[in-house]
Chain A
């Protein structure tokens, strides 16, 4: 299991290749990448996080996934700082003997890290003015999504 929090961009292809090559006996690798959308003239996004707690929360979520499904490995990488539309924000990768577990675990990881990992996004419009920047509000749907995984333990 690997959890990475960093400001710098990462090479998703290289990470997936390394992740895939390291799995023995795993028949399924699922990956998901979250990308900054350019909706509504968005110029960039600032992602703030809570150093220390972020790594801790992501590790707890990945550990929970590994306990719930038969997984060979889990990778979570999440960026912070300034990101432009089209940039990859984060990626999860799961390896499992069979695809159902790999898909379900990736889905679970995404639902949990959306509302249980301490990241906050602020959106800047094209004028770049700080006074026009807005914090992205959490959606009720994000919280509701967690109900799908009831009994998820300590995360």
Chain B
């Protein structure tokens, strides 16, 4: 399946791009992270401390154990600082 993967704030800076289309058979967000880490060092650096990150699937905040079946968009970012 094809998924748009988005990165924000320092995750975007470490990976070096704001979004990309990924072909994956990952069942969960955690599986997708494991695949990305295998790609290149910059992904490993961005995902080194997964507890410091948040994830949204199809624009809804969720957990790393969330399933990806049917998902179109997955976003990774640090804890939010609005207001």
Contact = CB atoms under 8 A, between A and B. Distances in A.
Interface of A: 34, 48, 50, 52-53, 56-57, 78, 89-90, 110, 113-122, 135-138, 142-143
A50 B56 contact: yes
Interface in B29-83: 56, 59-61, 75, 77-83
A115 B31 CA distance: 26
Contacts of A121: 81
Given A118-B8, A135-B10, A50 B81 contact: no
Interface of A, helix, strand, loop or mixed by DSSP? mixed
Contact of A120 (B59, B60, B61, B81): B81
Interface residues of B, number: 16
A52 B73 CA distance: 11
Given A57-B59, A89-B83, A135-B81, 10 more contacts: A34-B83, A110-B83, A113-B82, A114-B80, A116-B80, A116-B82, A117-B83, A120-B9, A135-B9, A137-B79
Contacts of A53: 56, 59-60, 75
B9 A114 contact: no
